[in-house]
Amino acid sequence: MSSAPGKPPPSGDRDVVAALRRGDEAAFAALVDEYGASLLRVARLYVPTAAVAEEVVQETWLGVLRGIDRFEGRSSLKTWIFRILMNVAKTRGERERRSIPFSVAAGGEEGAAVDPDRFLPADDERAPGGWALGPTRWPTPEESLLSGETRRVVLDAIEKLPPSQRAVITLRDVEGCSSEEVRNVLDLSETNQRVLLHRARSRVRGAIERYLDAMETTT
């Protein structure tokens, strides 16, 4: 079961590629608008400043234009574009001396999804390992979570993740890539991708919860 919400899958890579090849500017603009922000986020993981990240993205698009005639469609167009970005960003990151080891080990694998103190001990008589302090219901409608403050909380939480977790959750949940696309772009095994995604989602959930609980007690 794939649960990636958000954008629909690209409607016919072949059409887009053909449009780019014949110089359809609107098709290119649409592509830039669709992926620009995500490319920028991922680039930011590898280079020290926002300005350099913008340059990386610009260079990526030029790489896309240069390579489009050779694109064979063995991966999706999106995967291909993100792979170009990764190459440009890594090269640039090394030059800027900020290359990030990209593995689960570097992803802050320590840390449970939920603070262990919130569970009863394993030898508890009634409910071993059960919730001592269970999660409460979040306010509805959930769209209220997208209002200014909570949005900020979510973005901050993403920002504070270790780079590999941040890359996975950005591509997967924010951008709506499939698990296969994320694995191809980041060169991760299926298991590693899932572990990183789990850590990242758990931390973002925790950040939302802490924020909502604080709201409860102050209002």
Q: Of 173, 183, 184, 185, which lies in the binding site for another protein, with binding defined by CB under 8 A?
A: 173
Residues of this chain, 43-82, that bind another protein according to CB under 8 A? 54, 57-58, 61-62, 65-66, 69
Structure tokens at 138: 């979040």
Q: Of 167, 169, 182, 186, which lies in the binding site for another protein, with binding defined by CB under 8 A?
A: 169
**Under 8 Å between Cβ of 39 and 29:** no
d(Cα 106, Cα 84) in Å, to the nearest integer? 23
- The answer to whether 109 contacts another protein (rule: CB under 8 A) is no
| Shortest distance, position 142 Cβ to another protein, whole Å | 5
Length of the chain: 219
- The answer to whether 135 contacts another protein (rule: CB under 8 A) is yes
Planar angle of CA 144, 45, 30, nearest 5 degrees: 65
d(Cα 71, Cα 82) in Å, to the nearest integer? 13
Query: SS in 3 state form for 115-143?
Result: CHHHECCCCCCCCCCCECCCCCCCCCCHH
Q: Tell me which residue has tokens 């359809």.
A: 24
Nearer Cβ to another protein (67/94): 67
- The answer to whether 102 contacts another protein (rule: CB under 8 A) is no
Residues of this chain, 82-101, that bind another protein according to CB under 8 A? none
What one-character DSSP code corresponds to residue 48?
Answer: S
Q: Of 8, 11, 25, 148, which lies in the binding site for another protein, with binding defined by CB under 8 A?
A: 25
d(Cα 179, Cα 183) in Å, to the nearest integer? 6
Structure tokens at 48: 């020290």
- The answer to whether 116 contacts another protein (rule: CB under 8 A) is yes
Tell me, by CB under 8 A, how many residues bind another protein.
64
- What are the phi and psi torsion angles at 61 (to 5°)? -65, -40
- The answer to whether 145 contacts another protein (rule: CB under 8 A) is yes
Which residues here bind another protein, judged by CB under 8 A?
A: 1-6, 23, 25, 28-29, 32-33, 36-38, 40-41, 54, 57-58, 61-62, 65-66, 69, 112-114, 116, 119, 122, 127-131, 134-138, 142, 145-146, 150-151, 154-155, 158, 169, 173-174, 176, 179, 190, 194, 197-198, 201-202, 204-205, 208-209
